[in-house]
Amino acid sequence: MIVDAHTHIWRPVLQVTCPVRTIVGPEADISVELLRHYLDEHGVERAVLVQPVYPGEDNSYVADAAAAEPDRFAAVCVVDPRQSAAAERLAYWCVERGCRGVRLRPKVPGKAACFGQPETSSLWDVAARQGIVVSVLCDFEHLPAVARMAERFPTVAIVIDHLAHPPRPDDLAGLAPLLELKRFPRVYVKISGFYYFSRAPYPYADCRDLPRAVYDSFGPARMIWGSDFPHVLLKSSYVGALATVERLCPWLTAAEREQILGRTADGLYWPKP
């Protein structure tokens, strides 16, 4: 089984007020049909639809796509934890609309200050009660806050997106803030987005020791692969993203590779009763 745990879809957005511009721009039409084409072509059975930056908190497109094909897609919504009704909105998107995760984005300008603050704990309370997976788009500077939330909410599954964007992926000593999160059994690391922090072209030679360090700390059952579709298409290719785990982790056993490429995400987003 292969599960792509990090994909984005959206309809064209022509007027954008968000200060972030991603690799593929908002005016592109990244439909669920386009994603399905890539999944089918490469034998990927399931995908997690992560709400992109541009539509803000209108998670309707990812929620509706997942609701239409719940055995193939799971949706991760976005809710701003700074707002007073954040807990109610999270309950709406996850309980009523079926999203299985929420993404917090302290890396996005203007959203770092509120991450992990006491006033955001009501959102985490809902995540704990409902079994909602919390994904975190962050830098290394935000990892102490991740540790505080993991300690306060030990039952919540927390997924660190893109390995927290290490400032120097070839500096193993500098990885300590990420690797120290191994002490929290519900913290997972997403093996994705290498082009955001690597200083080398695909297949990211300066990142060769990074997955091994994560593996030695977390083990394969807490590592998750994701393609970062559609952005990966302009950086390498979808098939290149699929091959990244094998290229950077040739020492994995077949069972461990299967765990990282699918079974970990499958258990998080399609939990068995």
Is residue 51 within 8 A of residue 62, CB to CB? The reply is yes
Distances (CA, A) of 228 to 8, 41, 48, 77, 234: 7, 17, 10, 16, 11
What is the 3-class SS of 83-111, one letter each residue? CCCHHHHHHHHHHHCCCCEEEECCCCCCC
Peptide bond into 203 cis (omega under 30): yes
Is residue 112 within 8 A of residue 142, CB to CB? The reply is yes
Q: Please tell me the predicted confidence (pLDDT) of residue 15.
A: 78
- DSSP 3-state of 77: strand
Residues of the chain with pLDDT > 70, as a percent, come to 98
Q: Average pLDDT for residues 116-133, to the nearest whole number?
A: 91
Q: Please tell me the predicted confidence (pLDDT) of residue 226.
A: 98
For 227-264, the pLDDT digits (tens) are 999 999 999 999 999 999 999 999 999 999 999 999 99
Q: Please tell me the predicted confidence (pLDDT) of residue 113.
A: 64
Domain that holds residue 218: 3-269
CATH number at residue 71: 3.20.20.140
Does the pLDDT of residue 33 top 90, yes or no? yes
Q: Which residues contact 90 (CB under 8 A, 6 or more apart)?
A: 77, 79, 102, 123, 126, 127, 132
For 51-75, the pLDDT digits (tens) are 998 888 999 999 999 999 999 999 9
Per-residue pLDDT band for 120 (boundaries 50, 70, 90) equals confident
* 84 or 144, greater pLDDT: 144
Per-residue pLDDT band for 14 (boundaries 50, 70, 90) equals confident
Q: How far apart are the first and last CA of the chain?
A: 19
Phi/psi at 118 (nearest 5 deg)? -55, -35
Per-residue pLDDT band for 19 (boundaries 50, 70, 90) equals low
Q: Please tell me the predicted confidence (pLDDT) of residue 118.
A: 80
Does the pLDDT of residue 114 top 70, yes or no? no
Best CA proximity match to 126, nearest among 88, 80, 82: 88
Does the pLDDT of residue 25 top 80, yes or no? yes
Q: Please tell me the predicted confidence (pLDDT) of residue 154.
A: 97
Q: Please tell me the predicted confidence (pLDDT) of residue 16.
A: 73
Total count of domains within the chain: 1
Distances (CA, A) of 173 to 137, 164, 214: 22, 15, 12
Beta bridge partners, 77, equal 102
For 87-105, the pLDDT digits (tens) are 999 999 999 999 999 999 9
